[in-house]
Amino acid sequence: MQPITYKTDTMSWSFILSALRRMQADEVREPSVDLNLEAPSCIVLSCLAIEAFVNEVSSITNTFLHEQKQDRPVRNASPTLMEDKTSRRDLEKVAKIRSDSHGSFYDRYKQLLCDFDMANPNCLADLSSLGKVRDALVHFRECDVPIVEDENGVIKEGQELPSELKKMHKRKYQGQQLFATPKGSPWTLRLATDSMAAWSLGLCLDAIRHIMNELPAGRYRDFVWRAYACRDSDFDTLFASGKEKLASWWNGLMDENKSK
């Protein structure tokens, strides 16, 4: 049976939208102590969204190449578009990513950058950190929470951050600490903050938008952009609208803090 064409289901935006909705839910937040119980979920969903996006772009690229091979015009493509500056060889490499099951979301994202011959985004190092936080949560090998007696004879929880996360304990998102204090709390609770949720999702959106914005002008870029078109004409893609939604929520939080 010979395929006549292909389509691609785009799950990346669904993961992002789920994170946006959950991080804002009143029942998971306690602003007085900077607690957001959905921050761990946002971390995992952000990583999933990036991996899904890479696979989707690979599939969309395969569809584009198939339609070109069939010598049929790309659907809805304007005849006045400039010639594509992305070589067929590069697109063929991108199209193969979807068939390779190896590598983390970070590895696959770097592969996509390489196949497109794109410059690394400024957020690449942070994406590596995000992957380490995600691994700490998902593999969850450090579940024990010791109960200790400190030098003053006070009984309390004595768990420290996992070794890979200790390097991040001073990190901030727009001036706000990612990890809450005090140090004695379980590390999974210390990272359950609004700033951690916003940081992880912001990284996800920045990484995806870097790929979208760096695609060379032409029929191929337009083909990819149509797959992520936003119904709101104020935004060029769904990811641009997601970035605005995140910024609006965060700015609202900061305004509330100032008014207290």
Q: Give the tens place of pLDDT for each residue, 37-53.
A: 999 999 999 999 999 99
Q: Which of 3-7, 14-18, 167-171, 180-184 has the lowest mean pLDDT?
A: 3-7
Give me the pLDDT at residue 115, please.
94
Give me the pLDDT at residue 77, please.
46
What is the average pLDDT across 152-168?
81
What confidence category does residue 78 fall into, taking pLDDT thresholds of 50, 70 and 90?
A: very low
Q: Which of 100-114, 140-154, 204-218 has the lowest mean pLDDT?
A: 140-154
Taking the C-alpha atoms of residue 256 and residue 260, their distance in angstroms, rounded to an integer, is: 7
| Partner residues linked to 149 by β-bridges | 155
Check whether 4 has a pLDDT greater than 80: no
Q: Give the tens place of pLDDT for each residue, 245-257.
A: 999 999 999 988 7
DSSP 3-state assignment of 49? helix
Taking the C-alpha atoms of residue 59 and residue 3, their distance in angstroms, rounded to an integer, is: 14
Dihedral angle of Cα 181, 183, 187, 189, to the nearest 10 degrees: -40
**Cβ-contact 60, 224 below 8 angstroms:** yes
What confidence category does residue 85 fall into, taking pLDDT thresholds of 50, 70 and 90?
A: low
Q: What is the pTM of this model?
A: 0.88
Check whether 137 has a pLDDT greater than 60: yes
Q: Where are the alpha helices (DSSP H) in the chain?
A: 12-23, 39-69, 88-96, 105-116, 124-139, 163-166, 187-190, 194-214, 219-227, 238-259
What confidence category does residue 161 fall into, taking pLDDT thresholds of 50, 70 and 90?
A: confident
Q: Give the tens place of pLDDT for each residue, 110-127.
A: 999 999 999 999 999 999
**Cβ-contact 227, 60 below 8 angstroms:** yes
Which one is predicted more confidently, 183 or 154? 154
Our CA angle for 157, 166, 20, nearest 5°, is 90
Give me the pLDDT at residue 79, please.
38
Residues in the chain: 260
Taking the C-alpha atoms of residue 134 and residue 232, their distance in angstroms, rounded to an integer, is: 32
Q: Give the tens place of pLDDT for each residue, 186-239.
A: 889 899 999 999 999 999 999 999 999 999 888 999 999 999 999 999 999 999
**Cβ-contact 131, 105 below 8 angstroms:** yes
| 23 CB neighbour count, 10 Å cutoff | 25
What is the average pLDDT across 5-15?
85
Give me the pLDDT at residue 82, please.
34
Q: Give the tens place of pLDDT for each residue, 169-185.
A: 889 999 999 998 766 67
